[in-house]
Structure 1
């Protein structure tokens, strides 16, 4: 193939050889929630940098629309969570799928990329794959943890799965289905400055730019032994279940060290009110040790709060990955409805709930789950972690786990899709 036949943005040898560009590349893409919108926008930006002739068709939010998608309907129409909520919305979800497939047929799409939301996107892909559309699922369903039998449905619906973590790959290898670890977006978006800047400077800058923090710390200048970032989760159910347990632990901690201070960054002002309402029901001494802050001028405010703290006390979730990438020692506290926990314990195969432990294959950070999540245990675990030797040991383990994760997540999502897509699809 002469060089002139290769699109200029695809001439990088990493991308292999491609068919001549004789028509635009039409890609169907669907994100089912706000987090998927961010991931989809990042992927679209990468693709747009490689080709200047892509036509995007599908569903996404503001960020994906900024990359060239004209969303067929609002993303919120697909963002339904909870069994009862999903059941009540099934007729409209079925209708949305029909509308989407009709639009894809009309646009004659070449490829389809489902961003997370596997319950919806895999059903769409299963209709498209037999028609010769190259189908990708970006974010693997959690078959590595439970219900591995779902792999058969994934194989029937997709040509390629883009995984966020290396521990997700073995199940695809066992079943001989193409999958690539492209890494979690946080690996690319965490600001390195937050890691390299001295903590005293980070803390000063954080306080200086926030009125609530200024008011809190003005009376505690040079009187703070340790600053602990507390993150009880972003959902109301998590806050009401987990925050009271954390407060029980904090109450005991400040009896042992009255100079301990705690910062709780919230995702928005409504969550700030919810958290503050729980705290206001507690003792004056506890209320005086905690500041609840929201800053809409800083999209990464919670990451800055973590980076400026000595350690993090948090619920299980993506925040544990953020804390690890920021190299902040942590204690994980989590509690589910007892029935939900019993069911999950029978189904889930992995022994840990926190991502750093799953990635390390070892309990490098303490997990206080269900009946272990008591005020006494939280107090004891935090005080142990604040001891220099235990602190340094966990920090070293987090840094090593982060290093290995970065090494194993070295594939670019757009490159991976283009390599596989031109090799397997009917695009010409």
Structure 2
């Protein structure tokens, strides 16, 4: 860190004429999650280096750090093959506008935040002109299509990775990369790990005014609470929630004392989930609380922390559950054809992030044909005895410690050091 601070103080002197012209950094975030990463990086750089001109594209958080966005971030946030095909001409136009603005501003660095399909193409145009190019969030070459490393090397001088296991592929191909850690390492509220579960449950079921007093009474004196998270997309909910509900029906037959809570991302998702429960497992309505509250920040994290066990779809939520030290069972199903293609392409033996990070199975994965109501019932039941519960929790805690130890470098100082010693 000391060396990075020394380098930061020398940036203008080392690279600019005697009048100390400011460092000019081009930066592009391709979606809302990238806006948060970009804003954090910009704040670090502003604190370290002071006089910086920011040029590029970002959302409200990046604009608050000094970026005058050339156009709305939403112009780049296009997902899905059909949607991308429909917006292709405008994406090409956006790239031309960016490159022209960067040329006019005479940028020193370019930092692409995620969105590799767009940002790496921009970087490939800039790097041959002497611009120092950084990709913040590695493409998933550690999991599939490792051959993309050659394009990444051609386009970038440095890659900032979120996870330590991503570094191996860059080391093999002799390309600079640094693990700066996932933002969840710094954004999860420590109180969620410190407060007793009974207090967190009180905040969810009792301290919500008159929003759902019947639930508060119904969920008093909880013995075991299970958080259920079928995914954040409507398609995931439609595909995975029926399977989870069927597993819960079997669980209730064996363990009638259990209660369940499902945090919804918005009101429409809450209504969708409640409708599925009513149609597919109406006998569970008295035992499952479906909660959405726009006044409760990080609702899903609060609900996970207030629960004993998490039953969830594979995704970033598994990392949140791990960081909150909540034992879990991971469930996922894909379209049969998609799954067969994925099996051929993906080279990692695990699906859930806790297992990938640990390098071994520490949480149960019920994937594709393994995902059945009976299997869900059996695997949740295995976690109910205190000895089994503590065993998985201790493995999650050890993985958390290892992740934190290997993710201690800040994005800004990593880029500064790489620029000086390139």
Q: TM-score, normalised by structure 1?
A: 0.93
Alignment partner, residue 128 of structure 1: 126
Quick check: 298-307 or 176-185, which moved more? 298-307
**Alpha-carbon RMSD:** 1.7
2:327 corresponds to 1:360: no
SS of corresponding position for 2:99: helix
Alignment partner, residue 243 of structure 2: 245
Deviations 1:263-302 (A, max 9, x none): 1111222222222222221333212111111111222111
SS of corresponding position for 1:243: helix
Alignment partner, residue 334 of structure 2: 336
Alignment partner, residue 12 of structure 1: 5
2:208 corresponds to 1:215: no
CA distance in 2, matches of 1:226, 1:213: 20
CA distance in 1, matches of 2:161, 2:234: 29
Give the conservation status (yes or no) of the 8 Å contact 1:19–1:422: no
Deviations 1:200-240 (A, max 9, x none): 12211222332445431313422x32111111111111111
Alignment partner, residue 259 of structure 1: 257
Say how many residue pairs are matched: 415
Alignment partner, residue 269 of structure 1: 267
Q: 1:14 to 1:314 in 2, by over 3 A?
A: farther
Q: 1:320 to 1:14 in 2, by over 3 A?
A: farther
Alignment partner, residue 397 of structure 2: 399
Q: Identify unmatched segments of 5+ residues in structure 2.
A: none
Q: 1:51 to 1:352 in 2, by over 3 A?
A: same
State the shift of 1:19 in Å: 4.8
Alignment partner, residue 175 of structure 1: 173
Give the conservation status (yes or no) of the 8 Å contact 2:352–2:365: yes
2:219 corresponds to 1:226: no
CA distance in 2, matches of 1:203, 1:264: 13
Q: 1:132 to 1:286 in 2, by over 3 A?
A: same
Quick check: 245-254 or 201-210, which moved more? 201-210
* Counterpart pick for 1:378 among 365, 376, 379: 376
Q: 1:35 to 1:11 in 2, by over 3 A?
A: closer
Q: Any residues of structure 2 matched to 1:106-125 within 5 Å, and which? A: 106-125=104-123
Give the conservation status (yes or no) of the 8 Å contact 1:10–1:51: no
SS of corresponding position for 1:352: coil
Give the conservation status (yes or no) of the 8 Å contact 2:4–2:416: no
CA distance in 1, matches of 2:157, 2:10: 19
Alignment partner, residue 90 of structure 1: 88
SS of corresponding position for 2:218: coil
Give the conservation status (yes or no) of the 8 Å contact 1:16–1:419: no
Q: TM-score, normalised by structure 2?
A: 0.95
